Amino acid sequence: VLVTRAMVDEAMNALQGHCDLDVYTGPPEAIGRDEFLKRAKDKDGLLTMVSDRVDAELLDAAGPQLKIVANHAVGYDNIDVAECTRRGILVANTPDVLTEATADLAWSLILACVRRVAEGDRFLRTGTPWIWGPKMMLGHDLYGRTLGIVGHGRIGQATARRATGFGMRVIHNSRSGGVSFDTLIAESDVVSIHAPLTPETRHLFNANVFRQMKPTAVLVNTARGPLVDEAALASALRAGEIFAAGLDVFEREPEVEKSLLDLDNVTLLPHLGSATAETRAAMGLFAVENLLNGVTGKRPRGLVNPEVIDS
């Protein structure tokens, strides 16, 4: 099996002794496309990360022996699942185990944005002379205000649950219900994105949407970068159409839209949603379990395309 990036020790240890291992350890840290195409050849299983694109070209390069693509993530927009299904290849993900950690990170960004946490830290580190004043670096209250959750799956619901402690009203919009998207963006003081990336959700947040949001509103994205038009977001932040934004994911990851970098009202994190020691151990073990079950003909717990087995 090919593991495209070394995981935490717990997960790497769980793989030992069960299969012939090909682990890409860099440099660079992420496997390049050519290397991925080359190393996938003749593998029974691939353990992949969100930055590894699994499409028809990669599946051709891997060859007919491939039985499973086990993604080290809950999201699997990097994988052409329909193409895998057509070829009888299992696809698995790691849901549930990262729900709470990702919801915590969404709240880290919400609080950082409404109370200007990163901006304040930068302000002191750059040695700006200051004297405390009643009008200094004012943010906004959360208490009594409205949190809008876009995408009401596991992580969206976990993020919503935390709002009770902050005394917020919560509304949501998803494929299966809640308020309309237009109502959500017009009424929310904080909008947190938890929808999957699909052709329908690409640039769901665009210039037109930012104009309809409150000028005091905060937008947080811990889902997938391309849900937000980053250039339009930078313009909206600069024009004061919304108050602040917190981004953990980017349109062209790992690249960050240049026009965001000079803005003080945006907080940026390098895709840390599930980055706790405990959660990464659980994700790694889950991905390994999926991989080993897939290569040995058992049904993986995180199976995304059950049609492959059911048919």
Residue numbers annotated as active site: 224, 253, 271
Confirm or reject binding of residue 153 to ligand 8YV (CB under 6 A): no
| Bond into 270 cis (ω within 30) | no
In 10 A of CB 112, how many CB atoms? Answer: 21
Of the pair 142, 249, the CB lying nearest ligand 8YV is at 249
Cβ neighbors of 159 (< 8 A, separation 6 or more) are 103, 106, 107, 147, 149, 192, 194
Least Å distance between CB 293 and ligand 8YV?
19
Answer for which of 70, 74, 92, 269 binds ligand 8YV (CB under 6 A) is: 74
State the binding string over 31-70 for ligand 8YV (x if CB under 6 A, else -): ------------------xx--------------------
Of the pair 45, 273, the CB lying nearest ligand 8YV is at 273
The upper half-sphere exposure of residue 284, i.e. CA atoms within 13 Å in the direction of its Cβ, equals 20
Residues 183 and 19: their CA atoms lie apart, in Å, by 52
Least Å distance between CB 94 and ligand 8YV?
7
Q: Determine the interface stretch with ligand 8YV among 167-175, 213-221, 228-236, 266-274 (rule: CB under 6 A).
A: 266-274
Least Å distance between CB 273 and ligand 8YV?
5
Strand pairing partners for 290? none
Confirm or reject binding of residue 194 to ligand 8YV (CB under 6 A): no
Confirm or reject binding of residue 72 to ligand 8YV (CB under 6 A): yes
Residue type, 56: A
Least Å distance between CB 98 and ligand 8YV?
5
User: Measured between alpha carbons, how far is residue 170 from residues 143, 193, 219, 273 in Å?
Assistant: 12, 13, 15, 21
Confirm or reject binding of residue 8 to ligand 8YV (CB under 6 A): no
What does DSSP say about strands 169-174 and 177-178: parallel, antiparallel, or unpaired?
antiparallel
The tokens of 158 are what? 């976990």
The angle at the Cα of 194, spanning 82 to 289, to the nearest 5 degrees, equals 55
Answer for which of 3, 7, 73, 92 binds ligand 8YV (CB under 6 A) is: 73
Confirm or reject binding of residue 195 to ligand 8YV (CB under 6 A): no
Confirm or reject binding of residue 226 to ligand 8YV (CB under 6 A): no
Confirm or reject binding of residue 271 to ligand 8YV (CB under 6 A): yes
283 phi, psi to nearest 5 deg: -65, -45
Residue nearest to ligand 8YV (CB): 73
Confirm or reject binding of residue 98 to ligand 8YV (CB under 6 A): yes
Residues 305 and 297: their CA atoms lie apart, in Å, by 15
Residue type, 43: K
Kindly list the residues in this chain that would bind ligand 8YV in the complex (CB under 6 A). 49-50, 72-75, 98, 271, 273-274
